[in-house]
Amino acid sequence: MDIVLVHGAGGTPSTWSRVAPLLRAAGHQVHLVTNPMNSLREDVANTTGVLDDCAGPVLLVGHSYGGVVITNVGRDERVAGLVYICAFAPDEGESVQDIIGRYPPAEVSKHMRRGPDGEWFSDHSPEYWAEIGWDVPEDERASFDADSRPSADAIFAEATGVPAWRARPAWYLVAAQDKTLRTDIQRDMAARSGATISEITGSHFTPRVWPREVADLVERASASLTGAPR
């Protein structure tokens, strides 16, 4: 099965640097997306374009804001299923801002900054790592900082169309100690989408901290869709 991995806001394909090799070793065709993060519409179009490189049915995997992207891309008939890794799974007409606005602020909010054009980025201070990404190995934090990019406000403000999870099977991995996307938000979205829910301890950096568990969930989803044994 072709697996398309979609990073979150501020991210790059390096989000999946420890997950992608595990999936390739299991025999999957893995495609990494680099989205511009200027607008949701542009990111959806860019990710949909990656489907042209896929030979068979596609399993979309999104982390964080990447969940918004796959929720929209997943309407494409080539997509067989969706996997959310501590990710947004909006309903029709919802934006990221709409969702988080219904809950108390997450701890990460105190570390968020605005650029001159209104773009968002997080201040990766020692306090940030201690509170938000304590479980990311210290030797990986410098590379994370180097790869991080600002995200236009539009990706958080634009509304989602008809969500693919209404018509596609979904799986959701909840990060139970997430200080970036509140755990109660994750659980509520996962339940609403009818996803098969798994839960793991740890921060929002699940693909970096628990790559084997992320890959195992993706493989279970793929096996469910294809009928192949694991």
Active-site amino acid positions: 64
- Distance CA(19)–CA(208), nearest Å, equals 8
Question: Which are the contacts of 154, defined by CB distance < 8 A and separation ≥ 6?
Answer: 38, 39, 40
- Distance CA(128)–CA(112), nearest Å, equals 10
DSSP H or E segment with residue 42: helix 40-50
Q: What is the 3-state secondary structure (H, E, C) of 99-131?
A: HHCCCCCCHHHHHEEECCCCCEEECCCHHHHHH
> Which residue, 154, 146, 159, is CA-closest to 118?
154
Q: Which residue's structure tokens are 């994750």?
A: 186
